[in-house]
Amino acid sequence: MARNNFNDLLAFRAVAVERSFTRAAAQMGVSTSALSHAVRGLEERLGIRLLNRTTRTVVPTEAGERLLQTVRTLFDGVEAELASLGELRDRPAGNIRITTSAHAAKTILEPALIPLLAEYPDLKVELSADAGFVDIVAERFDAGVRLGETIAQDMIAVRIGPDMRMAAAGSPAYFARHPPPVVPHDLGRHNCINLRFPTYGGLYAWEFEKDGRALNVRVDGQLTVNDTTLALQAAMNGLGIAYVTDDQVLPLIAAGRLVRVLEDWCPPFPGYHLYYPSRRQHSPGFAVLIEALRYRDQNATRHLQK
């Protein structure tokens, strides 16, 4: 294949992934017109339209989507192989992009990254905190961090944190006005602080379990937030009951600012895992990151089968 054909395929991949000639041109450091000319030339040689263009969007056709998957696999493999050549260097280097939740970033990633980045000054890590799930392949992340029970089956997962528990809690002043709930269904009589996460497509249903019996409770209340820190603050202000991970609640309980309820309905569940595509080839930098994050008290690595 002629060299310019490879360039045209790279141009097509950039436009198809970014869904924009302007963004793709900026990414590749070329003009929009040059990029458009390259893609049009590729379409003419193949004799088939690869992209549907409108004034606002660029969307791959069926043929374009098929070519994109093939091109992405091939070029991503080449790029991974080039990155692996960093093994010839004395020290791990390069850029690693990770999508994560804000809670995992604060409690797991940042404490581990402080000594890691100090030890390897040529290593750069980008953390993108997002409340919803992200397609790490489509969005070109190297890895993601999520709870173990929510990871796709075709990913490799490495345990990076202990089991977790949820906790329902309200302020002493709130429970002075309202009898504490004894079972999850009692929450229907309480002012609960709702959480809205993109992952759930709406309000989060509070999940409980006891003696093998699982319950999802749709709670109601005057306040809805999209961040657990806001929910905790509202609970401390006496606005109702919040439902967050217990590591966020325990210090506030010890300080007398919150009172925990329904503890016997909140069993442990798998904690945070780092996950990445099974075909990903480790660079030295990615390998040292995994080892820095690996949870040492458990059988940390598992390959999730379909």
pLDDT at 1: 44
Element (H, E) at 48: none
User: pLDDT value at position 88?
Assistant: 55
pLDDT classification of 190: cutoffs 50, 70, 90: very high
115 CA to centre of own chain? 23
Helix (H) or strand (E) holding 225: strand 224-225
Chain center to CA of 237: 30
What's the pLDDT score for residue 94?
Answer: 85
In the DSSP assignment, the letter for residue 161 is S
* pTM greater than 0.75 (yes/no): no
Average pLDDT across the chain, whole number: 86
Please determine, for residue 160, whether its predicted confidence score (pLDDT) is greater than 60. Answer: yes
Instruction: Note the pLDDT tens digit of each residue in 91-105.
Output: 688 899 999 988 999
- Whether pLDDT at 298 is above 80: no
**Cα 246 to Cα 265: distance, rounded to the nearest angstrom:** 13
